[in-house]
Amino acid sequence: MKVPTKRITEIQTLVLHWYANHARSLPWRETHDPYNILMSEIMLQQTQVPRVIPKYVAFLKRFPTMESLANATSADVIREWKGLGYNRRALNLQRAIRVVVTELDGKFPNTIEGLLGLPGIGRYTAGATMNFAFGIDTPAVDTNVRLFIDTLVPSIATRKENDYYEISRQLMPKNKAHIWLHAVMDYTSAELRKNRPKPTKKKMAEKFIGSNRYLRGKTLDELREGSANEKKLFMIIAKPLHIPPDRFQALLSTLEKEGFIHQKNNLLSLVE
């Protein structure tokens, strides 16, 4: 699955020239600190950049060092994460940093294998961290990179993850780790997605409200403000949406198993 050398040169020239004139100025692009980079990458998972920017700045102000995040209560981390959604990412970030602080003597892994050994860190996040924190040319593939490859190398693009990683590796300019993936992301967002149809906000909202993700988020939002019993939570969150009690109870049990909440004296609270 070899991309022709001529085509590689064409793509690299196109994207790097475009990026030189259109690169977005984003706060996490001003640092190579692996803690900051990992934080931004986890926040950016399934969340748009404009929403992440203020939360990244606020989160870093609240937890400026790995030690401050590692020593914080999970409840404080979840509270600070409010507005980003997918709250599991907050706990994954804290768990990963706790491993670095307590088991690795504060030394951040600088290999793919080491990063993948951290809780909640997947192949893309590990690859992006290798590029942006350590400047090591490392392929990293997400939906944007797939679209980039499908569009610019359509004759050999496939749906197999390892194939995308191999093509991505071939397309990377040597010693451009700090900017290439940023360039691909910005180019894809600005040029390749601009004419693609987008679902209307109304349809998106209709699909989201009542989903498990919606119910989980609303439950944690309520508990961010303080403890509550199960009946109160049900009446506020689930009953208006005609959610069956057993479904809501199962959702609470899942949140408890995952380490988000606990129950004491018939009251549910965020895990401290």
* Active site amino acids: 41
Phi, psi of 219 (to 5 degrees): -65, -45
CB contact at 8 A, 139 and 168: yes
CB contact at 8 A, 183 and 132: no
Question: What one-letter code names the amino acid at 205?
Answer: A
Rounded distance between C-alpha atoms, residue 162 and residue 160, angstroms: 6
Handedness of CA 93, 94, 97, 102 (dihedral sign): negative
The token duo for 80 is: 């600070």
CA–CA–CA angle 152, 49, 126 (5° rounding)? 70
Q: What is the CA radius of gyration of the chain?
A: 21
| β-bridge partners, 267 | 264
Rounded distance between C-alpha atoms, residue 258 and residue 272, angstroms: 13
Rounded distance between C-alpha atoms, residue 74 and residue 133, angstroms: 26
Rounded distance between C-alpha atoms, residue 181 and residue 141, angstroms: 9
Rounded distance between C-alpha atoms, residue 102 and residue 105, angstroms: 6
